[in-house]
A = this chain, B = another copy of it.
């Protein structure tokens, strides 16, 4: 079907395109009856605004870009879910792209967003590809980083991962663990390093050795694999701090398969509090990151920045650090 345009509505109603335009975007001075009549007619004709045209001529596109990385990590979805909801609620549309977790992929994704003339951008930043961030800055696009920060002054909502690592490790220590390994993620990312740092700090405080660092893919399989190739229990470990829940659950699976008892012989703790953790075997003790809150705050902050930008033509720098808390379940003694 040929799309109905405001011009056609103008012809049918006898008003000018200008008047029709204002009636349909309820803006500017216009008599109420005129507006009602036009809207009525528009509805009848099945009019749907052309967002491309609107975005091209207007100052804003009412479109926000979201760049994801690991689509398969359950951690991200609750964040994406609230972002979607919050944006819809505010009448903003959403364009999605993926960084493929490479610098090049990120650059492409950012370029697409820029080309799409998004009003603002939300991204899970894979802490590589600073040039992408510079590009963003150059184009002056309001951006909020989700659950990370960068060296470039771009706003972000994040969590204090080092503190999380410290919190988790201290808990294991308090419960009597003596030899605790840290499982980092494959590509050493900022959050993984930060949690490791917190882990090391807690161990050092008690005069313990902090060299037992292993590496796994950020996935259930990754956890399973590292445990399959490394028999933590027989190596004398009685505690494992895994970079995230996915890895932790993978490890637990393998440890149980080997016939060891969790938490009696070894405690396992993860991070993120993904929904599945409550249903793993045993239910996973973890550090809860306020995922929904990250999404909500990020959208709020972004909208604020967009407003600020349209007013003063510069985008502010702002940051928020959210508190995480321990969720004790059954994988730790």
Contact = CB atoms under 8 A, between A and B. Distances in A.
A152 interface: no
Interface in A235-259: 249-250, 253, 256
A219 B281 CA distance: 17
Given A84-B98, A96-B95, A114 B48 contact: yes
B46 A52 contact: no
B97 A93 contact: yes
Copies in the complex: 2
A74 B220 CA distance: 13
Q: How large is the interface on A (under 10, 10 to 19, 20 to 34, 35 or more residues)?
A: 35 or more
A230 interface: no
A250 B275 CA distance: 11
Interface in A252-285: 253, 256, 275-276, 278-281
Interface stretch (A53-61, A171-179, A186-194, A209-217): A53-61
B61 A1 contact: no
B278 A280 contact: no
A51 interface: yes
Which 4 A-B residue pairs are closest in the complex by CB-CB distance? Answer: A281-B281, A71-B81, A52-B56, A96-B96
